């Protein structure tokens, strides 16, 4: 297993409400089940990486409250290091509301985290030689600084770029903050916002654009798989066909696996195939390790390939 994986980003306490269907305008529905779990991009990435055997260092902030205590306890129970987690006195831990229907489709309500919080994320970071950084564009400044520091020690950085954060900070600002990022991954929501379409051809074009000057880029398309750009080539990998009641965490499982596979010196297309398998197996409730994912990825044939 490579050097420690640093997960820099937002964690929240997720409130999950399972309903027969997503409510329409002004409609009320009863929940079938309610759960309260660690959430946020950094939570799922950190837990997946820890399950795959990585030493995981969580770089985030929570309030000095009961919800923060609950999150810290959950991370430590999962074997995730929390010594770089800031506890903010007098502040409440961020929350998110997820409404999930019987098909697995969901709506997510995010409570914006104050900018002064976000600016402090990663303040206690220390990156050893060849460290791995996985982050998202929660705030341009700490993301840019972390990527610079990881590059300086010869490490690997991966950015999960999503529409709500691009909408908040602006695409050009996000790209400037990502100038030292080695790998960018995004999804169909940002694809549609930037390219006006979610189809595979649009994903090819967007992945090619994001990959310029980087080791790789990918666009995940949910049930349509993932498009990967690397080494002047493009490929579309099909998704595993899985019926899932809750797709929360599948994308972050992809991100964590992709980063670890790249850090283990797997080629970008093979690493993406491993991550694609991990995402599908996660939804199917299967357990897995990197060796099993690598074997399965060897049998995965791209739907189409192109020259970038």
Same domain, 186 and 231: yes
Residue 77: give its domain's CATH number.
3.40.1190.20
DSSP 240: P
- Across the chain, which distance is largest between two alpha carbons, in Å? 54
Same domain, 68 and 116: yes
Same domain, 187 and 302: yes
Residues in CB range of 159: below 8 A, 6 or more apart: 135, 136, 137, 143, 147, 178, 181, 183, 184, 185
Digitized pLDDT (tens) for each residue of the chain, 308 residues in all: 556 899 999 999 999 999 999 999 999 999 999 999 999 889 999 999 999 999 999 999 999 999 999 999 999 999 999 999 999 999 999 999 999 999 888 999 988 888 998 999 988 888 988 899 999 999 999 999 999 999 999 999 999 999 999 999 999 999 999 999 999 999 999 999 999 999 999 999 999 999 999 999 999 998 889 999 999 999 999 888 777 666 778 888 999 999 999 999 899 999 999 999 999 999 888 899 999 999 999 988 777 677 76
Q: What pLDDT is recorded for position 240?
A: 80
What domain range includes position 265?
A: 182-308
Measure CA 205 to chain center.
Answer: 21
Nearest C-alpha neighbor of 87 from the set 105, 73, 72: 72
Same domain, 140 and 189: no
Q: What pLDDT is recorded for position 103?
A: 87
> Last residue of some domain: 159, 193, 224?
159
End-to-end CA distance of the chain: 32
* CA 17/CA 131 separation, integer angstroms: 37
Q: What pLDDT is recorded for position 246?
A: 64
Q: DSSP letters along 144-200, please?
A: HHHHHHHHHTT-EEEEE--HHHHHHH-HHHHHHHTTT-SEEEEEHHHHHHHHS--SH
Whether residue 177 lies inside any domain: the answer is no
Domain count, the chain: 2
Nearest C-alpha neighbor of 288 from the set 277, 301, 272, 299: 277
Q: What pLDDT is recorded for position 211?
A: 98
The answer to whether 300 and 276 have CB atoms below 8 angstroms apart is yes
Copy the structure tokens of residue 266. Answer: 């797997």
Same domain, 43 and 192: no
């Amino acid at each position: 297993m490579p050097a420690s994986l640093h997960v820099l980003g937002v964690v929240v306490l997720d409130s999950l409400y399972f309903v027969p269907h997503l409510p329409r305008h002004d409609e009320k529905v009863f929940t079938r089940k309610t759960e309260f779990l660690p959430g946020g991009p950094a939570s799922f990435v950190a837990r997946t990486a820890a399950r795959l055997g990585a030493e995981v260092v969580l770089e985030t902030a929570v309030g000095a409250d009961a919800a923060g205590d609950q999150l810290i306890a959950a991370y430590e129970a999962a074997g995730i290091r929390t010594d770089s987690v800031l506890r903010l006195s007098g502040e409440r831990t961020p929350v998110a509301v997820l409404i999930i229907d019987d098909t697995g489709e969901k709506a997510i309500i995010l409570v914006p985290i104050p900018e002064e919080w976000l600016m402090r994320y990663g303040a206690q970071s220390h990156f050893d030689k060849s460290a791995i950084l996985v982050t998202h564009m929660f705030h341009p400044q700490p993301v840019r600084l972390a990527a610079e520091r990881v590059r300086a020690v010869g490490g690997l950085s991966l950015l999960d770029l999503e529409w709500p954060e691009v909408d908040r900070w602006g695409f050009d600002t996000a790209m400037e903050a990502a100038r030292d990022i080695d790998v960018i991954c995004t999804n169909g929501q940002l694809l549609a916002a930037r390219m006006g379409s979610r189809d595979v051809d649009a994903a090819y074009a967007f992945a090619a654009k994001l990959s310029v000057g980087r080791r790789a880029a990918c666009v995940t398309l949910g049930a349509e798989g993932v498009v990967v750009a690397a080494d002047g080539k493009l490929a579309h990998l099909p998704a595993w066909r899985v019926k899932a009641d809750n797709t929360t965490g599948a994308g972050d499982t992809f991100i964590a696996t992709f980063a670890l596979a790249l850090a283990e010196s797997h080629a970008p297309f093979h690493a993406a195939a491993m991550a694609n398998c991990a995402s599908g197996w996660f939804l199917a409730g299967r357990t897995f390790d990197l060796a099993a994912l690598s074997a399965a990825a060897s049998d995965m044939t791209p739907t189409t390939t192109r020259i970038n």
